[in-house]
Amino acid sequence: MEGAGLVGKHILVTGGTGLVGRAIEKVVADGEGQLDEEWIFMFSRDADMMSTTETKALFEKHKPTHVIHLAATVGGLFRNICYNLDFWKKHTHHTHHMHSAYETGVQKVVSCLSTCIFPDKMMYPVDESMIHNGPPHSSNFGYSYAKRMIDIQNRGYFEQHGCRFTAVIPTNVFGPHDNFNIEDGHVLPGLIHKVCLAKHETGSALTVWGTGKPRRQFIYSLDLARLFLWVLREYDEVEPIILSVGEEDEVSIREAAEAILEAMDFRGELVFDTTKADGQFKTASNAKLRRYLPSFQFTPFRKAVKETCAWFNTNYANARK
């Protein structure tokens, strides 16, 4: 997808067909792209980002000036618990984009981390300075340690080569084009799919794993996409930045489930399976983001849930599930 006018920036988005990549593509298409920008959204079939050779070939082919790196292997709490080694191995190979960017003279790289990389035993809220202050939660140590190394490499490439590589740390992202797989997906899309199935079973209840008490900062993918554009264009720090709603906008898993029930018009019973683990409590501070963008408006949670449920219902046949 090319912007009109004289092209000055060639922006390569890896993982461009995923949740966040699709959101960025929509935001750009809806008019928030700039005239000097050419956007290239990469499919997984275009290159294996775990391969040094294929990653280098991709960069030499497209000659990007800027990169948003979203390619990753992702999963929910229970997939992380079962496959920590696999997550570690895959994500240690998901950093080839940095060396290729350095070799081909890319001006800026924005990589994507996650709040689950923060230490388990911390005072909350966590902030950007705390990433390496202790071991991560045991449920996702493989993914967390591998992702932390992106921050280390960003610093190294800057100190040794002057590269402007940075990373963002979103909280719990959801929206259209999410992975709605009940077993492998994250909590919100998984619940949306479960409600959809339960609606077609007379008298069926919605069962939620855990107590429903943990609180999460959910961020709508389209809001995150707009923030990615700002980071790419305006944010000049190498240090990472948390992209999140405020602490006051945290939502419990129970409240999230109730919002989905309302959006999907589900009248069945809501049941919590307390034999399942709750996962990590991980409130994050968005104070740094607010210092930069004090007036940024996030989409209200229930509105974003309603739009996501509507998208899933409309695109059920082709949605990832």
**Closest listed residue to residue 87, CA positions, set 99, 98, 77:** 77
pLDDT on residue 2: 39
The pLDDT tens digits for 92-138 are: 766 778 999 999 999 999 999 988 889 988 888 999 999 999 998 87
143 is a catalytic site residue: yes
What is the per-residue pLDDT for 80?
A: 59
Residue 195: name the closest of 281, 243, 264 by CA: 264
Angle between helices 19-27 and 221-234 (to 10 degrees): 70
Average pLDDT score, the chain: 88
Question: How would you write the pLDDT of the chain (321 residues) with one tens digit per residue?
Answer: 333 334 589 999 998 989 999 999 999 999 888 888 999 999 877 877 778 889 899 999 999 999 999 976 665 555 656 677 777 777 676 677 899 999 999 999 999 998 888 998 888 899 999 999 999 887 788 888 989 999 999 999 999 999 999 999 999 999 999 999 887 778 899 999 999 988 877 567 888 888 999 999 999 999 999 999 999 999 999 999 999 999 999 999 999 999 999 999 998 889 999 888 776 667 999 999 999 999 999 999 999 999 999 999 999 989 887
Q: How many whole angstroms separate alpha carbon 131 and alpha carbon 285?
A: 13
Which domains, ranges and CATH numbers included, belong to the chain?
9-314 (3.40.50.720)
* Residue percentage of the chain with pLDDT more than 90: 61
Paired tokens of 5: 């006018």
- Of the candidates 215, 195, 199, 216, the one whose C-alpha atom is nearest the C-alpha of residue 207 is 195
Q: How far apart are CA 177 and CA 247, in angstroms?
A: 26
From the candidates 83, 124, 143, 157, give the one annotated as an active-site residue: 143
Backbone angles phi, psi at 66, to 5 degrees: -140, 150
Q: How far apart are CA 296 and CA 289, in angstroms?
A: 9
Compute, in degrees rounded to 10, the torsion defined by CA atoms 212, 91, 285, 14.
-110
Asked if residue 58 lies in contact with residue 47, where contact means CB atoms within 8 angstroms, the answer is: yes
